Chain A
Amino acid sequence: GQQLNQSPQSMFIQEGEDVSMNCTSSSIFNTWLWYKQDPGEGPVLLIALYKAGELTSNGRLTAQFGITRKDSFLNISASIPSDVGIYFCAGRFDLSDSWGKLQFGAGTQVVVTP
């Protein structure tokens, strides 16, 4: 089956620093999603990507859908304490007549220190 590798597993950064994480897949996707999970909560969608090469921003967050359709990255600029949480990538390959299952990466734990 498809393998989604997300790295790094964890990051300890100082407030104000930029954060970068990425996901790679063994197979192609036609949708990449990035979620954030706060402690005790469910994942919340940050950015959705639907086209190879697409670059999308959401405030201080920027994500890109890789040209090969097998990877995506998420950048967080000028981190703040509330950026703490687990960030998940998720990918899906949809057929023309049905939609595929969402595959999740293992998550990147981000810790921001003042």
Chain B
Amino acid sequence: DTAVSQTPKYLVTQMGNDKSIKCEQNLGHDTMYWYKQDSKKFLKIMFSYNNKELIINETVPNRFSPKSPDKAHLNLHINSLELGDSAVYFCASSQGGARDNIQYFGAGTRLSVL
């Protein structure tokens, strides 16, 4: 069974559209994250939720809105997509607060904005 699963794996869309990426983890973790990986493979955190509460919110345009309906899910909604939003988006989860706060990553969603 996949521990952290994201859908869709590929997303191709036009500029100006609104799209969502879903993430689910079955590890029983209480903390989930969204990362953006740019074309140079640099990984940067965007958001983190702990037990459905936002705990990390980096400098991300407010077109990006995370939503956590429960601690096993963290979805990412993006409004008015721009060309610069093209990237690979990774969801991750961990058992926050523990010393071995290891983050487990999903396989990524490759977003292409045309």
Say yes or no for B45: interface residue by CB 8 A criterion: yes
Q: Which residues of chain B from 96 to 112 have a CB within 8 Å of any chain A CB?
A: 96-97, 99-108
Instruction: Give the contacting residue for B43; candidates A31, A88, A109; CB below 8 A.
Output: A88
Number of interface residues of B (CB under 8 A): 23
A107 to B4 Cα, complex, angstroms: 22
* Beta-carbon contact of A48 and B102 below 8 Å: yes
* Beta-carbon contact of B102 and A33 below 8 Å: yes
**Nearest A-chain residue to B33, judged by Cβ:** A102
**Nearest B-chain residue to A31, judged by Cβ:** B101
Which of A37, A45, A92, A106: most chain B CB closer than 10 A? Answer: A37
Say yes or no for B77: interface residue by CB 8 A criterion: no
* Beta-carbon contact of A48 and B41 below 8 Å: no
Interface residue ranges, A against B (CB under 8 Å)? 31, 33, 35, 37, 40-45, 48, 50, 86, 88, 92, 94, 99, 101-102, 104, 106-107, 109
New A-B contacts (10) at CB < 8 Å, excluding given A42-B105, A43-B43: A40-B108, A42-B92, A43-B105, A50-B100, A99-B101, A102-B45, A102-B103, A104-B43, A106-B40, A106-B42
